[in-house]
């Protein structure tokens, strides 16, 4: 069996390419970094938690919301070679309606989830355009589409990620740069387990089942499933795809309710 003239084992490979993954120390970002490395990419992991980046070929401790830190980090990355793939996966969450969202919480989420994507994309897109080759994948969320209850600030930031994705794709489509996003529903990460332990002590199993049932498919997603979609979008097999968001949500947006 052949895929676009390549043996199946050679499809979706990123051999010889450099990929930068933000938020690579844990959860979805970690799974993405591992999957891109498995595809042959040289992965540069970016995260505030340097201890969690041992699985990356290059580890860069950086607060993506800090312009100076991002400039310094990407200058160091560029010294080692051009960036072929950027995955903006770093993000933080918050629970609450607009009344429950303090301005400090609003600014914290905007700083990481929106300004972080802006700063990291800005750090690589000119170089990609000059080489007429590059891929940017942003991790958005179904919250950006559905406006989840009690997720005001988080939904706002992920809506901004969707808009940035389309804008960058439009501005750079003639320069050989593709930009897409993915929108996961609930994904089973250590963050979920920690949240349940803190919020529902003694009821973790019950609440896990309740949250899992939110997805029509009947379970949460796994980080590795999200990572596989990112690998596809980063590969040459997705060369005809740009300016698109991909829900990976167990049917939440189209089948829910």
| 12 plus 110 within the same structural domain | yes
pLDDT over threshold 50, residue 1: no
Catalytic residue among 154, 172, 195, 200: 154
- 186 vs 192: CA distance, rounded Å: 9
Q: How many CB atoms lie within 10 A of CB 51?
A: 9
H or E segment to which residue 12 belongs: none
**Under a CB-based contact definition with an 8 Å cutoff, are residues 148 and 163 in contact?**
no
Cα–Cα distance measured from residue 95 to residue 232, given in angstroms and rounded to the nearest whole number: 32
Structure confidence by residue, pLDDT tens digits, 130-142: 999 999 999 999 9
Helices marked H in 132-222 — which ranges?
143-146, 152-172, 190-199, 204-212
Helix (H) or strand (E) run with residue 14 in it: none
Same domain, yes or no, for 151 and 53? Answer: yes
Q: Which domain holds residue 66?
A: 2-185+222-247
How far apart (Å, rounded) are the C-alpha atoms in residues 168 and 179? 7
Q: Are residues 21 and 82 in the same domain?
A: yes
pLDDT in tens, 165-222: 999 999 999 999 999 999 999 999 998 999 899 999 999 999 999 999 999 999 999 9
Q: Answer whether residue 8 shows pLDDT above 60.
A: no
Within a domain: 257: no
CB 32 within 8 A of CB 187: no
Residue 135 included in any domain: yes
Global pTM value = 0.94
Is position 76 within any domain? yes
State pLDDT tens for residues 24-60: 999 999 999 999 999 999 999 999 999 999 999 999 9
In this prediction, residue 2 carries a pLDDT of 44
Q: In the annotation, is 200 catalytic?
A: no
Asked if residue 84 is part of any domain, the answer here is: yes
180 lies in the same domain as 192: no
């Amino acid at each position: 069996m052949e895929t676009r003239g390549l043996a199946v084992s050679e499809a979706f490979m990123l051999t010889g390419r450099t990929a930068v993954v933000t938020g690579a120390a844990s959860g979805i970002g970690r799974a993405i970094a591992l999957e891109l490395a498995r595809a042959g990419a040289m992965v540069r992991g970016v995260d505030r938690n340097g201890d969690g980046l041992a699985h990356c070929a290059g580890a860069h401790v950086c607060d993506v919301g800090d312009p100076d830190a991002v400039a310094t980090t990407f200058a160091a990355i560029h010294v080692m070679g051009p960036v072929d793939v950027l995955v903006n996966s770093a993000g933080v969450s918050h629970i609450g309606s607009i009344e429950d969202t303090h301005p400090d919480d609003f600014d914290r989420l905007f700083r990481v989830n929106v300004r972080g994507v802006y700063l990291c994309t800005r750090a690589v897109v000119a170089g990609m355009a000059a080489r007429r080759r590059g891929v940017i994948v942003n991790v958005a969320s179904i919250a950006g589409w559905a406006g989840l209850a009690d997720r005001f600030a988080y939904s706002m930031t992920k809506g901004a990620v969707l808009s940035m994705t389309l804008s960058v794709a439009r501005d750079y489509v003639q320069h050989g740069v593709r930009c897409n996003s993915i929108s996961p529903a609930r994904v089973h990460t250590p963050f979920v387990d920690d949240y349940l332990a803190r919020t529902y002590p003694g009821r973790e199993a019950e609440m896990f089942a309740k949250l899992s049932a939110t997805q029509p498919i009947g379970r949460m997603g796994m980080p590795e499933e999200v990572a596989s979609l990112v690998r596809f979008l980063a590969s040459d097999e997705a060369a005809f795809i740009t300016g698109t968001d991909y829900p990976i949500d167990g049917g939440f947006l189209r089948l829910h309710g």
